[in-house]
């Protein structure tokens, strides 16, 4: 089944088992309540605060949050209070608060709430490898894009450092899922995952080798040649060695030629 079909199936399954609140951080940040999208404030720091609290493993002090997101304001605690009030309006329920404060600390209660990044983040590499193809496809559907895609906050170096680390972490998990899927599925089904892997890791030699092998096996030689030419230009523009890609293309052609050779009959 191709990627878009799996997305439809995944969304249908989600709708059938809807939790009251869903928070999507893998891609542009979104919040859904009872399956309906909630309008988020325009403030980038409200979205950043939601993501940070949702992924925090322990309550976070107000001073730490102020240092994380407010380097310059004269009243960072006042801005933090304002952001928290906006968050409460989005995620709190009439009968309970998800944004919880105790003393000087703030925590996010994820009970009865789905957060895509938490679900994926719990998966170790060994756990990902142990999943069957169907479960891997469903996990891959969680990725609607880069972590907090499109969200950048200037003049907040601590947050930018955290954001960069999280994006690197989730890209690695995503790439591993896509690699496993592309390795396990027939070529025609694997192409969608190889192309997505190529988007998030354009300088990973393995994805180029697997794509060239699949194109050659499907006799899509012209596409393979065009890919080698485009990849060569990309690597050379970055000062990278493209010889491994050309060697992979040469090997793929040799294997393809060997498969097309008629079998030799013995006397």
- The model's pLDDT over 69-112, given as tens digits with 9 standing for 90+, comes to 987 767 899 999 999 999 999 999 887 899 999 999 999 998 88
CA distances from residue 163 to 52, 62, 126 in whole angstroms, order as listed: 9, 19, 24
The percent of the chain in helix, strand and coil, each rounded to the nearest 5, is 60, 10, 30
Whether residue 12 is predicted with pLDDT greater than 90 in this model: the reply is no
pTM summary value: 0.81
Q: Which residue has the higher pLDDT, 263 or 256?
A: 256
Which range, of 101-105, 151-155, 236-240, averages the lowest pLDDT? Answer: 151-155
End-to-end CA distance of the chain: 46
Cα gap 75→81, rounded to integer Å: 10
Buried b (16+ CB within 10 A) or exposed e, 161-191: ebbeebeeebeebbbbbbbbbbeebebebbb
Tell me the average pLDDT of the chain.
86
List, for residues 109-123, the tens digit of each pLDDT value. Answer: 988 899 999 989 887
Query: What is d(CA 267, CA 162) in angstroms, rounded to the nearest whole number?
Result: 69
pLDDT at residue 149 tops 60 = yes
* pLDDT reported for residue 38: 94
3-state SS string for 191-228: HHHHHHHHHHCCCCHHHHHHHHHHHHHCCCHHHHHHHH
Sheet with 30-33, strands from edge to edge, namely 36-37, 30-33, 21-24, 113-115
pLDDT at 263: 44
Tell me: pLDDT of 235 over 60. Answer: yes
130 confidence band (pLDDT: 50, 70, 90): confident
Q: What is the DSSP letter of 27?
A: B
Between CA 261 and CA 196, with CA 183 as vertex, the angle to 5 degrees is 115
The mean per-residue pLDDT over the stretch 129-137 comes to: 82
pLDDT band with cut points at 50, 70 and 90 for residue 237: very high
The pLDDT of residue 265 is 39
Beta-bridge partner residues of 217: none
Using pLDDT thresholds of 50, 70 and 90, give the confidence band for residue 260: low
d(CA 38, CA 135): 28
In this predicted structure, the answer to whether residue 127 has a pLDDT above a threshold of 60 is: yes
Q: Does the pLDDT of residue 5 top 60, yes or no?
A: no
Rounded Cα gap, residues 68 and 225, in angstroms: 48
Q: Is 210 exposed, middle or buried (0-12, 13-18, 19+ CB in 10 A)?
A: buried
Residue 182 has pLDDT above 90, yes or no: yes
Spell out the domains of the chain, with CATH numbers in brackets: 1-185 (1.10.10.10), 202-261 (no CATH)
The DSSP line for 169-187 is HHHHHHHHHHHHHHHHS-H
> What average pLDDT does this structure show over 24-45?
94
């Amino acid at each position: 089944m191709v990627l878009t079909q799996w997305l439809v199936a995944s969304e249908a399954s989600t709708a059938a088992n809807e939790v009251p609140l869903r928070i999507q951080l893998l891609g542009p940040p979104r919040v859904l309540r009872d399956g309906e999208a909630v309008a988020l404030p325009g403030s980038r720091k409200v979205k950043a605060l939601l993501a940070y609290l949702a992924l925090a493993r322990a309550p976070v002090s107000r001073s730490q949050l102020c240092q994380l997101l407010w380097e310059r304001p004269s009243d960072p605690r006042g801005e933090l209070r304002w952001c928290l009030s906006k968050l409460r309006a989005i995620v709190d329920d009439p009968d309970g608060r998800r944004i919880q404060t105790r003393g000087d600390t703030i925590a996010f209660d994820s009970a009865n709430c789905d957060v895509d990044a938490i679900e994926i983040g719990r998966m170790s590499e060994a756990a990902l490898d142990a999943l069957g193809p169907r479960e891997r496809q469903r996990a891959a559907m969680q990725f609607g894009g880069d972590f907090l895609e499109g969200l950048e906050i200037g003049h907040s170096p601590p947050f930018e450092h955290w954001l960069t680390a999280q994006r690197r972490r989730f890209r690695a998990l995503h790439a591993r899922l896509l690699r496993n899927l592309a390795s396990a599925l027939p070529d025609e089904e694997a192409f969608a995952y190889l192309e997505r892997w190529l988007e998030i890791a354009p300088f990973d030699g393995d994805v180029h080798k697997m794509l060239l092998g699949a194109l050659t096996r499907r006799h899509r030689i012209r596409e393979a040649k065009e890919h080698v030419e485009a990849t060569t230009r990309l690597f050379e523009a970055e000062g990278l060695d493209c010889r491994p890609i050309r060697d992979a293309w040469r090997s793929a052609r040799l294997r393809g030629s060997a498969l097309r050779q008629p079998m030799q009959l013995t006397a």
